[in-house]
Structure 1
Amino acid sequence: MFRRGLSCMLASARLGARPLPPLTRVPHRSLMDSGEVAAAAEAARDFAATGTPSIFAKILDGTIPADIIHDDDKCIAFRDVNPQAPVHFLVIPRKPIPMLEKAVASDGNLLGHLILVAKQVAESEGLKDGYRVVVNNGVQGAQSVYHLHIHVLGGRQMSWPPG
């Protein structure tokens, strides 16, 4: 099927046919329905306008309690207060990186450490059959807290595409 379609496109190009316009991306229906897009846009506006500490900064300084399941000198991991799977936890760096896009080359070791902690905590949580690791980045990535964080979800079969 793909080869036939590709052959037709190449033949059309040789015959002088105009190329098709690029596809327009449409937000996934479940994402539009959930209000996640609006929440992400609001979080981005708040982050840009106020610069106030995020909820994760408050968890790090102990102002807001959390169910912490890992704690070291570079990061913490804690259970998500609104779990989207039987096991859902977050891994956040102590360094205040607002989003993955703002990470720099010197953050490489820290980013690697976060992934390894995600793996270690997933193992300790019994996620032997697999799990999903997610980093939301920016408004279109539905980032709702502007402190870099890794979601780890498991304990059920995940589906694709993720939304």
Structure 2
Amino acid sequence: MVQNVRVIGTGQLLELSARLRRAGHENIRQSFQRRIRRAAEPLRNDLQDTIRRLDIRSQGRGTGKRGGPTLTTRPMRATIAEAIRISVRTTGDPGARVWVDKGRLPPDLRRMPDVINTGRIRHPVFGNRRRWAQQSANPGWWDKTVRGHTDRITREVERVADDVRRHLE
């Protein structure tokens, strides 16, 4: 299941956020927010590249089976890539969040990021629910990409928090 990725150091970021509010340093808070976003941007970009380049294989058509052009002009992988978002908060529950904004996906693709992540894509043939096709992809496009960035993001957020803390002292 594709899940939100949250970059947090709860105690550290909460304490730092409260100190920034009390100090009233708007430019430091904006810089803090911008640097946290920059720490998460490579993850978002990599997730977008991964889904765009993901190889989705078909079982192929059997002998005598008919095919044809797709009924939609919307490229599925590019549509999913464009729905991957980042949000950064410095108050309340501070941190960065990378997620697939399912509200930006058409209704028929809202579950697709989760389905593709499993590696097994089963769908009706051209919308005909009496005929189904199965396709496959390398499982874990979301999970593996996130795991590859977790250590780097954690180090970067800790470095940003330390820099801001030093500036406030």
Q: TM bucket by the smaller chain?
A: under 0.3
* TM-score normalized with structure 2 length: 0.27
Query: Hey, which of these two has a bigger chunk of strand by percent?
Result: 2
Higher relative contact order, structure no. (Cα contacts within 8 Å, ≥ 6 residues apart): 2
Query: Hey, which of these two has a bigger chunk of helix by percent?
Result: 2
